[in-house]
């Protein structure tokens, strides 16, 4: 039976397990009949929270001093001073083994950050997530980072090409509510991990975040969002919070932002890769951008990434066969849009790109495929791709098996 037929059959089975409609309808009626006083109180509460959130954002912009509550999950967390939340690693064995001057396997950075599923609180659909700092060479967990109160979960982690600047997004609940961005500073010599609330307003809840990218030097943050009737790119200064905004009307989404060192931002829109010079004037996202690469006929490009030197766009590229597919990491010239190289071509595989070194010579990738891996059962490889060769990286900190969708956002180098 074909995969598509299996999916149809599985969905039909699932649909038969739907909740009882009468019970749901009764619950809806009960909620609709709830005294309006309660609704007004809830509404007032939301307005109050929104007001507080705005006030916090303003404080951050003016003074750079967000005072987060002391205590939190870790008893040794001190009150925040000057926007810093000193965050002692809960588990720090192994730091001494890491020499930050060296690189990891295949030219990868010596350590990386990854989200890990924690416990699921009552009435939550998804588990809270914390962050593990992982030794790239051994896969050992060097430290763990848990969100400071009032946050319960981290939802997004990205890194810069300088490989030592990271940004985390913290939320009160997994999947929505009060998203705030933090800079992560790691000092292995002092075994210290520090979170600093960024002077950037909380991410709007009325839109959908389609990508966040940190500039190679860690100084600017790009956030691509889909809002009602338009797409918005916001580029924030990590130090002052100053923002520039570009907009594109319509529902076609822009996603997968990535930066060059010279301030060019790449993103995908309508299956093409566009380049925007963020230093030039103008507020139109597409009007001020150049189409660098159109998706080749019959192929799908995915997760495209502009290398920090600005010369190449790397993307995963697939072509559907029947059955199966052809897969490769494709390297394109950012100037001409022509394909320069096909890296790691495979049949029946998919992959993701996670990081490019400043020179663009080392890529961190994930590949899932029937022919991939040193053992038959190891169909999933995280590795450093350089000179056409993939050097596996151990990632024991990441618990779940199967397609993990680590990039972007769940793992950062």
Partner 1 sequence: MTFDEFAQTRLPALLAFATVLTGQRATAEDITQEVLIRAHGRWDQIAPLDRPELYVRKMVLNEFLSWRRRSWRTVPDANPMRADDLTADHAASYNEHAAMLAQIAKLPGRQRAVLALRYYEDRSDAEIAELLGCAPATVRAYASRALAALRVELRPGLSEFSTPVSGEI
- Interface residues for partner 1 in 79-98 (CB under 8 A)? none
What's the angle, vertex CA 228, arms to CA 275 and CA 208, rounded to 5? 65
Is 402 near partner 1 (CB under 8 A)? yes
Nearer to partner 1, 15 or 279 (CB): 15
Determine the Cα–Cα distance for residues 394 and 300; give it in Å rounded to an integer: 29
CB atoms within 10 A of CB 56: 18
Locus of tokens 């071509």: 345
Determine the Cα–Cα distance for residues 312 and 363; give it in Å rounded to an integer: 12
| Sequence-ordered list of residues with C-beta below 8 angstroms from that of 297, at least 6 positions apart, any chain | none
Instruction: Report whether 221 contacts 213 (CB < 8 A).
Output: yes
Least distance from partner 1 to the Cβ atom of residue 275, Å: 19
Is 176 near partner 1 (CB under 8 A)? yes
Site for partner 1 in 353-392 (CB under 8 A): 368-377, 379, 381, 383, 389-392
Determine the Cα–Cα distance for residues 14 and 10; give it in Å rounded to an integer: 6
Least distance from partner 1 to the Cβ atom of residue 156, Å: 6
Tell me the CA distances in angstroms from 119 to 97, 240, 272, one per residue in order.
30, 35, 39
Is 406 near partner 1 (CB under 8 A)? yes
Least distance from partner 1 to the Cβ atom of residue 327, Å: 8
Instruction: Report whether 128 contacts 121 (CB < 8 A).
Output: yes
In this chain, which of 270, 284, 341, 361 binds partner 1, going by CB under 8 A?
A: 270
Is 396 near partner 1 (CB under 8 A)? no
3-state helix, strand, coil in the chain (%, to 5): 15, 40, 45
Is 38 near partner 1 (CB under 8 A)? no
Q: x/- string (CB under 8 A) for partner 1, residues 193-232?
A: ---------------xx----------------x------
Is 315 near partner 1 (CB under 8 A)? no
- Within a 13 Å sphere around the CA of 101, how many CA atoms are in the beta-carbon half? 1
Least distance from partner 1 to the Cβ atom of residue 377, Å: 7
Q: x/- string (CB under 8 A) for partner 1, residues 44-83?
A: ----------------------------------------
Nearer to partner 1, 109 or 369 (CB): 369
């Amino acid at each position: 039976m074909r995969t598509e037929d299996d999916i149809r059959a599985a969905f039909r089975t699932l649909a038969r397990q739907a909740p009882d409609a009468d019970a749901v309808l009764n619950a809806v009626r009960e909620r609709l009949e709830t005294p309006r006083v309660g609704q007004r109180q809830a509404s007032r509460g939301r307005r109050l929270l929104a007001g507080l959130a705005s006030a916090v954002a303003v404080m951050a912009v003016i003074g750079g001093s967000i005072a987060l509550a002391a205590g939190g999950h870790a008893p040794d967390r001190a009150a925040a001073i000057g926007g810093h939340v000193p965050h002692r690693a809960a588990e720090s064995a192994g730091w001494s083994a890491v020499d930050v001057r060296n690189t990891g396997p295949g030219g990868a950075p010596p350590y990386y950050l990854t989200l890990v599923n924690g416990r699921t609180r009552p009435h939550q659909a998804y588990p809270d997530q914390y962050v593990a700092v992982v030794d790239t060479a051994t896969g050992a967990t060097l430290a763990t980072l848990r969100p400071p109160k009032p946050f319960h979960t981290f939802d997004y982690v990205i890194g810069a090409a300088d490989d030592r600047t990271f940004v985390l997004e913290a939320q009160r609940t997994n999947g929505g509510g009060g998203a705030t961005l933090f800079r992560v500073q790691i000092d292995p010599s002092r075994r210290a991990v520090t979170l600093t609330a960024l002077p950037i307003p909380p991410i709007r809840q009325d839109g959908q975040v389609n990508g966040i990218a940190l500039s190679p030097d860690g100084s600017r943050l790009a956030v691509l969002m889909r809002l009602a009737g338009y797409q918005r790119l916001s580029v924030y200064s990590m130090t002052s919070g100053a923002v520039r905004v570009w907009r594109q009307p319509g529902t076609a989404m822009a996603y997968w932002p990535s930066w060059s060192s010279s301030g060019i931002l790449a993103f995908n829109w309508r299956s093409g890769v566009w380049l925007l010079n963020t230093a030039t004037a103008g507020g139109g996202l597409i009007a001020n951008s150049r189409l660098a690469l159109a998706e080749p006929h019959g192929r799908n490009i995915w997760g495209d990434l502009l290398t920090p030197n600005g010369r190449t766009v790397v993307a995963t590229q697939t072509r559907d066969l029947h059955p199966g597919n052809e897969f490769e990491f494709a390297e394109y010239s950012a100037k001409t849009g022509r394909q320069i190289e096909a890296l790691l071509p495979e049949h029946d595989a998919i992959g993701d790109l996670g990081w490019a070194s400043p020179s663009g010579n080392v890529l961190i990738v994930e590949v899932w495929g029937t022919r991939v891996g040193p053992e038959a059962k190891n169909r999933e490889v995280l590795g450093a791709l350089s000179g056409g060769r993939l050097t596996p990286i151990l990632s024991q900190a990441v618990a779940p098996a199967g397609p993990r969708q680590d990039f972007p956002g769940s793992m950062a180098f």
